[in-house]
Chain A
Amino acid sequence: MDLFKILKQLSETPSPSGFEGTISQTIQDLWAPYTDEIITDRLGSVIAVKKGNGPEPRPRILLAAHMDEIGLMVNQIVEKHGNGFLRITNLGGIDVRQLYAQRVLVHATGPQAPDSPLPGIISAVPSSWLPDSRQSNAYEMNDFFVDTGLSYENLQQQVTIGDYVTFDQELQSLMGSVAAGKSIDNRASVTAVTATLHELQNRLHHWDVVAVATVQEETRLLGAYTTAFSQKPDAALAIDVTFANAPGTSGGPLPLFDLGTCVPLGLGVNVHPGILNALQEAAKELELKTELDLHGRASGTDAYGIQVARAGVPTGLVGLPIRYMHTVVETIDTRDIGRAGRLMAQFITNLDETFLDKLADSMLADTA
């Protein structure tokens, strides 16, 4: 399976939080050949089920990867010398330090909107125009505007307040298996789930596998809460990107990960220790190296929402190390995606009728 090609398609698909329709279609097409049924729920999350081989009623393992990406939204159309410009606000945790001089696509929905998105450039007034007190300060969101080159009159006809804006960035192939681009967070995890589903084609597994691509993680973890509720899983894995070592990251309190060396597994309050243990066992069987990805409070992933659905869901967290998270040059080693995919497939293959009892027992043990 060509992971770079799948990642490229997913990464370049424009779909920020709240506007997952486009990426949803791409994922449905991608997962349909590997699953038995596929639906989208009322909030837009994609839910695909691959039936297990065990006797009914079968337990269900949820694989959750969010499909939304950070983006921007038009919040004002302004005029200067007859030219039109768009003021913008953020969808999710945009790093404003990397917005200047980026190319974007405005997904225009005005009465005379063009068939394809409007290309634009994010800019701001020259920093020399800013007061002395701001010379060493980064631009703020209010400083930026998107320029499409259209007149104010035309822009008003084409664009509506609330239209979303995405980054116009091709996935770059760097050295070896390293790739850089936008929305690796979290399309890399969607790619990993695809690899898992592909791997499971040749395996027997007792449990039903419910693969979900969740909506609105970057804003409210909305899809995690709602799909974990509706799908009533017996256990779950959230798959999300985590922090790789990169220029400037040394000296922090957390161990980070080198690209291409390991599968980070979450350890912390959002993770059931028994699930972590089962993931580690599966990794040993595959001779895959894992590392612990530690979180003290919220993990900042779908695991946080899934864990507390209904009466609680034992949840694990599988990580993909990336550099420069929440920039348009998020950088990943695509080999890590394949490893995480295989690890999840092995973990799922190992799930049997006794797994849930063992999980329950593990909570009564003296030590984790």
Chain B
Amino acid sequence: MNELLQQLTEAVGVSGAEHEVRALIRDLIADHVDEWHVDTMGNLFALKKGTGESDLRVMVDAHMDEIGMLVTQIDRDGSLNFLNIGGINDRTLPGKVVQIGAKKIRGVIGLKAIHLSRTSERRSVPRADSLRIDIGASKKESVRKVNVGDRVAFVSEYREMGDIAMGKAFDDRAGCAVLVELLRGEPFPFDLHAVFSVQEEVGLRGAEVAAYAVKPDVALVLECTPALDIPYDEDVSTNLSLGQGPGVYVMDAYTFHDPRLVAHILKTGEKEGLPVQIRQPGGGGTNAGAIQRATGPTPTVTIGLPGRYAHTPNMMISLQDYANMVKLADASLRGLTRDVIQTD
């Protein structure tokens, strides 16, 4: 069992309330870094001093936050109204177990019995504003146990089955786990500025101020990227495939990932005998979109771990892909020199 992935994915950190994840990561890295601090938005910065061989300022980012919900109102019957935080499809909500606030009060998102529903209701997507979280309490009890403004996360136990791991929030605790492993390794030739960022799911907001603060020469984003190698009759983009190695981004809705860095990562993969996929260009986006423009032009690239069923309580990754992503990120950083990003 990969305890790091288990701890990180089972921890709760919905955008804007990343406290538990931040404290956990701080504990995981504190003995392996030279300095750490937290900024006003909640980004956790860690400095791992290099060997002194290189004066590059390198930032590596992984976001701590996960999608979830926000309690907006307590109804007369004690049930809770909520808003979605981040890109949750309403189709995901019915029939799920959730945890509310710092006390992790258990609740469920129910659905009016199928027997009581009209045909038209049964055939439509129930909208979030018609659903409620039920903690099994009267209004009086609910008011005592839950606060308006509490964040709500899905409940999902981490589980492994052969090469497969299932659970919530691999997006982007898998990236956080890779970054923790990098910090626990040998020093790099340069100072490594690790950023565990907040609020990616609501518009790449944490990384934007973090990049401004770090002012890196070059940045690497570690993500968990939708793998869409699933059954469908049409020949559509698979984005990434599970088990085929980590993916390097070329282009998404926000960013042309730096072609020199893309080439460097592909070359590193080849040299190290590591499988690397090119993430199919298209929509989507990562913190690279914020980092590359936050402090003047910053060559930035993203490596993504293929993950099926992003933004649901039950994602799936390959542990082999994860292991290869740690190796690829590590080797790519160790081979990173000023020459790689030299403009001719």
Spell out A's residues near B (CB within 8 Å). Answer: 78-81, 83, 85, 93, 95-103, 118-119, 121, 123, 125-127, 129, 136-139, 145, 147-150, 169, 172-176, 178-180, 243, 245-249, 252, 259, 300, 323-329, 331, 333
**B110 contacts A175, CB within 8 Å?**
no
| Residues of chain A with a CB closer than 8 A to B318's CB | 149
Q: Which of B116, B137, B161 contacts A174 (CB 8 A)?
A: B137
The docked-state distance in angstroms from the alpha carbon of A148 to that of B79 is: 34
**B316 contacts A174, CB within 8 Å?**
no
The docked-state distance in angstroms from the alpha carbon of A131 to that of B239 is: 19
Known: A138-B91, A174-B107, A246-B110. Is A103-B166 also a contact (CB below 8 A)? yes
**B136 contacts A180, CB within 8 Å?**
yes
Q: Which of B209-217, B227-235, B266-274 contacts A (4 or more CB under 8 A)?
A: B227-235
Known: A246-B110, A252-B116. Is A127-B89 also a contact (CB below 8 A)? yes
Known: A174-B108, A174-B137. Is A129-B232 also a contact (CB below 8 A)? yes
- Indicate if B57 sits at the interface (CB-CB under 8 A): no
Chain A residue nearest in CB terms to B132: A247
**A176 contacts B141, CB within 8 Å?**
yes
Q: Which of A174, A243, A248, A333 has the most CB of B within 10 A?
A: A248
**B135 contacts A323, CB within 8 Å?**
no
- Indicate if B334 sits at the interface (CB-CB under 8 A): no
Q: Which of A97, A123, A127, A136 contacts B309 (CB 8 A)?
A: A123
The docked-state distance in angstroms from the alpha carbon of A128 to that of B234 is: 13
**A149 contacts B316, CB within 8 Å?**
yes
**A147 contacts B316, CB within 8 Å?**
yes
| Residues of chain B with a CB closer than 8 A to A103's CB | 156, 166, 314
| Residues of chain B with a CB closer than 8 A to A79's CB | 231
Chain A residue nearest in CB terms to B131: A247
Q: Which of A97, A121, A173 contacts B111 (CB 8 A)?
A: A97
**A174 contacts B135, CB within 8 Å?**
yes
**A176 contacts B115, CB within 8 Å?**
no
**A176 contacts B229, CB within 8 Å?**
no
Q: Which of B3-11, B122-130, B176-184, B254-262 contacts A (4 or more CB under 8 A)?
A: B122-130
| Residues of chain A with a CB closer than 8 A to B238's CB | 81
Chain B 97-130 near chain A by CB (<8 Å), digits 1 or 0: 1000000011111111111100000111110001
**B124 contacts A123, CB within 8 Å?**
no
**B125 contacts A138, CB within 8 Å?**
yes
Q: Which of B77, B106, B145, B236 contacts A129 (CB 8 A)?
A: B236
Chain B 164-208 near chain A by CB (<8 Å), digits 1 or 0: 101000000000000000000000000000000000000000000
**A324 contacts B124, CB within 8 Å?**
no
**B136 contacts A300, CB within 8 Å?**
no
Q: Which of A129, A148, A150, A323 contacts B110 (CB 8 A)?
A: A323
- Indicate if B75 sits at the interface (CB-CB under 8 A): yes
Q: Which of A123, A178, A179, A329 contacts B109 (CB 8 A)?
A: A329
| Residues of chain A with a CB closer than 8 A to B114's CB | 93, 95, 325-326
- Indicate if B264 sits at the interface (CB-CB under 8 A): no
> What are some 5 contacts across the A-B interface (CB < 8 A)?
A95-B94, A147-B316, A173-B106, A174-B106, A329-B97
**A100 contacts B91, CB within 8 Å?**
yes
How extensive is the interface on chain B, given as a class?
35 or more
- Indicate if B92 sits at the interface (CB-CB under 8 A): yes
| Residues of chain A with a CB closer than 8 A to B111's CB | 95, 97-98, 248, 324, 327
In the complex, given contacts A149-B164, A323-B113, what are 4 additional A-B residue pairs having Cβ atoms less than 8 angstroms apart?
Answer: A147-B316, A326-B115, A327-B110, A331-B136
Q: Distance in Å from the Cβ of B157 to the closest Cβ of chain A?
A: 8
- Indicate if B96 sits at the interface (CB-CB under 8 A): yes
| Residues of chain A with a CB closer than 8 A to B166's CB | 103, 119, 121, 149
Q: Distance in Å from the Cβ of B334 to the closest Cβ of chain A?
A: 31
| Residues of chain B with a CB closer than 8 A to A119's CB | 159, 161, 166
Chain B 284-305 near chain A by CB (<8 Å), digits 1 or 0: 0000000000000000000000
Interface residues of chain A: helix, strand, loop or mixed (majority) = loop
- Indicate if B324 sits at the interface (CB-CB under 8 A): no
Q: Distance in Å from the Cβ of A74 to the closest Cβ of chain B?
A: 14
Q: Distance in Å from the Cβ of B107 to the closest Cβ of chain A?
A: 7
| Residues of chain B with a CB closer than 8 A to A259's CB | 136
| Residues of chain A with a CB closer than 8 A to B232's CB | 80, 125, 129
**A329 contacts B115, CB within 8 Å?**
no
| Residues of chain B with a CB closer than 8 A to A80's CB | 229-232
The docked-state distance in angstroms from the alpha carbon of A167 to that of B198 is: 34
Q: Distance in Å from the Cβ of B313 to the closest Cβ of chain A?
A: 6
| Residues of chain A with a CB closer than 8 A to B109's CB | 329
| Residues of chain A with a CB closer than 8 A to B94's CB | 95, 97-98, 327
| Residues of chain B with a CB closer than 8 A to A243's CB | 113, 115-116
Q: Distance in Å from the Cβ of A153 to the closest Cβ of chain B?
A: 13
Q: Distance in Å from the Cβ of B190 to the closest Cβ of chain A?
A: 38
The docked-state distance in angstroms from the alpha carbon of A78 to that of B230 is: 10
| Residues of chain B with a CB closer than 8 A to A326's CB | 113-115
- Indicate if B242 sits at the interface (CB-CB under 8 A): yes
- Indicate if B225 sits at the interface (CB-CB under 8 A): no
Q: Distance in Å from the Cβ of B171 to the closest Cβ of chain A?
A: 13
The docked-state distance in angstroms from the alpha carbon of A147 to that of B107 is: 26
The docked-state distance in angstroms from the alpha carbon of A136 to that of B313 is: 21
**B230 contacts A121, CB within 8 Å?**
no
**A102 contacts B95, CB within 8 Å?**
yes
**A101 contacts B115, CB within 8 Å?**
no
Q: Distance in Å from the Cβ of A348 to the closest Cβ of chain B?
A: 30
The docked-state distance in angstroms from the alpha carbon of A270 to that of B198 is: 59
The docked-state distance in angstroms from the alpha carbon of A274 to that of B230 is: 58
**A137 contacts B229, CB within 8 Å?**
no
The docked-state distance in angstroms from the alpha carbon of A97 to that of B122 is: 7
**A139 contacts B91, CB within 8 Å?**
yes
- Indicate if B134 sits at the interface (CB-CB under 8 A): yes
The docked-state distance in angstroms from the alpha carbon of A179 to that of B318 is: 34
Chain A residue nearest in CB terms to B232: A125
Known: A100-B91, A123-B308, A328-B95. Is A246-B242 also a contact (CB below 8 A)? no
Q: Which of B91, B97, B122, B316 contacts A127 (CB 8 A)?
A: B91
Q: Distance in Å from the Cβ of A255 to the closest Cβ of chain B?
A: 13
Q: Distance in Å from the Cβ of A179 to the closest Cβ of chain B?
A: 8
